[in-house]
Structure 1
Amino acid sequence: MRLILLKKNSRTASTVLNPISNMINMKWELRGAEFLSVKKSVIMVANHQSSLDILGMFAIWHTMGKVTVIAKREILYSGPFGLAAWLCGLVFINKKDVTESRELMRVAMEKLKRENIKLWVFPEGTRRNTGEIHEFKKGAFHLAIQTNTPIMPIVYSSYQTFLNDKEKVFNPGEVIIEALPEISTENYTTENVDELMEKTRKMMDITFHKNSLEIKNRQRQRKV
């Protein structure tokens, strides 16, 4: 039932909430749309800098097609937002129980693959706006190997040109979101999951710094 509701409800949510970006002067530039629009299941891993990342997701949702997100179980009990998240097909996990979470994600991924639904994960776990991509947790990569699902890296450029959490600064922002070519998991096992994880993070790190520098240079040119 929830998989049937997923496509309609998540698209409705993105349509309703996407105008918020215009209201707060956020501009999202998508690159790699040809990778993002693939009509099959992939595990999308994205860097996590701020709750603004969700607005970026909504901005590109129409290109992604059918997609759901990993969320902590506590969100399910957060009133109307929890209900909306459930209707949109989010996969809820108990982060305090790693074994339970991995098994739940494996079962969920098998269902998503039958419906060609993508899964979005923030492998850093905690959002941090530091100008770097931090170490990844292994959960998404174990899942990709167990279910033979490709990894698709998604990279947001740095928010530091417009957002400073400590100083409470939030200016109009410009962000590049780039989807990279998928990474096959066929030649990986749980024994070399670290290799897959680091390969993904390094690819994302190169793109992150390249696109972040481009945004900085654009801003400098505008000031000249």
Structure 2
Amino acid sequence: MLYLLRMVLVGLNFLFVGFVGLIIGVLRPFNPDDNRLFGRLYSHPALRILGLKLEAEVGPLHDQPPGCVIIANHQSNWDLFLLGTVVPRRMACIGKKSLKWVPFFGQLFWLGGNVLLNRENAYQARRALQTTSRVLAEQNTSIWIFPEGTRNPGETLLPFKKGRFRWPSRPACPSCPCV
């Protein structure tokens, strides 16, 4: 019974944050710091509802200057609630284009300045990555990618999608091995 109650409350939190986030996103669209705000709005209440305490060693992530490439393993839909707590300043994410159809979340994802790639059309995906690379460099924003291109609950990594790593060359951050 407690499980059902928690799932209902997490679902309501998801919808509420999506609605509130849409208002914020419309008032300040494509703001590079919105992802950090949205991530925390999703994650902190959800972790409390689920009775979870998250301890993460993210000092190195937050010590990096904006303009880095951050790579993470996407294991499940629960990642939103876990990774949302560690989103750094000025960050955008790459996601599949079909995310835009997820009520509230998809529109919030887009308004957060994230990149929606059409994985069915390689030409459009390459153009989107080139534009993204240029804009992120100009705006001094980091990009968060899930190089496996899908959720992977397994113990080992799946092969990385090669398109994620075909970015035009740009100077690396002075203190990290960024692309």
Superposition TM-score, scaled by structure 2 size: 0.73
Q: 1:13 aligns with which of 22, 35, 38?
A: 38
The code of the aligned residue for 1:33 comes to G
Q: 2:177 aligns with which of 175, 183, 195?
A: 183
Name the residue aligned to 1:49.
75
Q: Distance in 2 between matches of 1:149 and 1:92?
A: 24
Matches within 5 A, 1:1-224: 2-3=29-30, 5-7=31-33, 9-18=34-43, 19-61=45-87, 64-143=88-167, 146-148=168-170, 150=172, 182-185=176-179
Deviation at 1:87, TM superposition (A): 1.4
Judge conservation of contact 1:43–1:149 (CA < 8 Å) in 2. no
Deviation at 1:68, TM superposition (A): 1.1
Deviation at 1:32, TM superposition (A): 4.5
| 3-state SS in 2 of match to 1:120 | strand
Deviation at 1:34, TM superposition (A): 3.0
Deviations 1:197-219 (CA, angstroms, capped at 9, x unpaired) = xxxxxxxxxxxxxxxxxxxxxxx
Q: 1:73 and 1:42, CA in 2 relative to 1: closer, same or farther beyond 3 A?
A: same
Larger radius of gyration, structure 1 or 2?
1
Deviations 1:55-75 (CA, angstroms, capped at 9, x unpaired) = 2221112xx111111111122
**Unaligned regions of 5+ residues in structure 2, if any?**
1-27
Q: Distance in 1 between matches of 2:126 and 2:86?
A: 28
Deviations 1:153-207 (CA, angstroms, capped at 9, x unpaired) = xxxxxxxxxxxxxxxxxxxxxxxxxxxx83254xxxxxxxxxxxxxxxxxxxxxx
More strand by share: 1
Superposed CA RMSD in Å reads 2.3
Q: Distance in 2 between matches of 1:102 and 1:58?
A: 27
Q: 1:27 and 1:98, CA in 2 relative to 1: closer, same or farther beyond 3 A?
A: farther
**Unaligned regions of 5+ residues in structure 1, if any?**
152-180, 186-224
Deviation at 1:40, TM superposition (A): 2.3
Deviation at 1:37, TM superposition (A): 3.1
Deviation at 1:123, TM superposition (A): 0.6
Instruction: Give the count of matched residue pairs.
Output: 150
